[in-house]
Amino acid sequence: MKKCPNEKCSATNPDDAKFCRICGRKLDDNRPGLTEKPNRSFSEPAKIVRGIKFVFIKGGTFMMGSPEWEYERNTMETLHKVTLSGFYMSKTTVTNEQFCVFLNEVGVGRHMNKIIAEQPYYVSPKLEYRNDNWHPKSGLENHPVVWVTHYGAKEYCEWLGGRLPTEAEWEYACRAGTRTAFNTGKNLTTSQANYNGNFPYDGNDCGIYLGHTQPVGSYSPNAWGLYDMHGNVGEWCLDTYDTYPTSPQTNPVATPNVYIDYIRVCRGGGYDSSAAQCRSAYRYPWTHYSGLESVGFRAVLPVV
CATH code, domain with 137: 3.90.1580.10
Cα(160)–Cα(237) distance, integer angstroms: 16
Per-residue pLDDT at 17: 64
136 and 11 in a single domain? The answer is: no
Report percent pLDDT > 70 for the chain. Answer: 81
Which residue type occupies 108? V
Per-residue pLDDT at 260: 61
206 and 246 in a single domain? The answer is: yes
Per-residue pLDDT at 119: 42
User: Is pLDDT at 38 greater than 60 in this prediction?
Assistant: no
Query: Domain tally for the chain?
Result: 2
**Residue 143, exposed/middle/buried by CB under 10 A (0-12, 13-18, 19+)?**
buried
Per-residue pLDDT at 110: 59
Report percent pLDDT > 90 for the chain. Answer: 66
Residue 256 contacts residue 242 (beta carbons within 8 Å): no
Per-residue pLDDT of 44-76, as tens digits, reads: 678 899 999 999 999 999 999 999 999 999 999
Which run of H or of E encompasses 187? Answer: none
Characterize the bridge pairing of strands 47-49 and 12-13. unpaired
54 and 160 in a single domain? The answer is: yes
207 and 194 in a single domain? The answer is: yes
Radius of gyration of the chain (CA): 19
24 and 49 in a single domain? The answer is: no
Q: Rounded to the nearest 10 degrees, what angle do helices 150-160 and 96-106 cross at?
A: 80
100 and 129 in a single domain? The answer is: yes
123 and 135 in a single domain? The answer is: yes
Ranges 5-9, 186-190, 202-206, 232-236: which has the least confidence: 5-9
| CB neighbour list of residue 184: distance below 8 Å, 6 or more residues apart | 17, 19, 21, 192, 193, 230
247 and 289 in a single domain? The answer is: yes
Residue 299 contacts residue 90 (beta carbons within 8 Å): yes
- Neighbouring CB atoms inside 10 A of 11's CB total 20
Which residue type occupies 37? K
Partners of 144 in beta bridges = 95
Partners of 135 in beta bridges = 128
9 and 137 in a single domain? The answer is: no
SS3 281: coil
Rounded to the nearest integer, the mean pLDDT of the chain is 86
Q: pLDDT class for 22, splitting at 50, 70, 90?
A: very low
Q: Provide the residue range defining the domain that includes 256.
A: 40-304
19 and 93 in a single domain? The answer is: no
Cα(163)–Cα(89) distance, integer angstroms: 10
162 and 180 in a single domain? The answer is: yes
**pTM higher than 0.85 for the full model?**
no
What 135-141 contacts at long range (C-beta under 8 Å, 24+ apart), as own/partner pairs, is: 135/100, 136/95, 136/96, 136/97, 136/100, 137/96, 140/96, 141/95, 141/96, 141/97
Per-residue pLDDT at 23: 45
Cα(138)–Cα(183) distance, integer angstroms: 33
Q: pLDDT class for 118, splitting at 50, 70, 90?
A: low
- Neighbouring CB atoms inside 10 A of 161's CB total 12
Residue range 27-37: average pLDDT? 43
Cα(265)–Cα(237) distance, integer angstroms: 5
27 and 159 in a single domain? The answer is: no
Query: Which CA distances in Å does 140 have to 87, 96, 217?
Result: 29, 7, 14
Which run of H or of E encompasses 159? Answer: helix 150-160
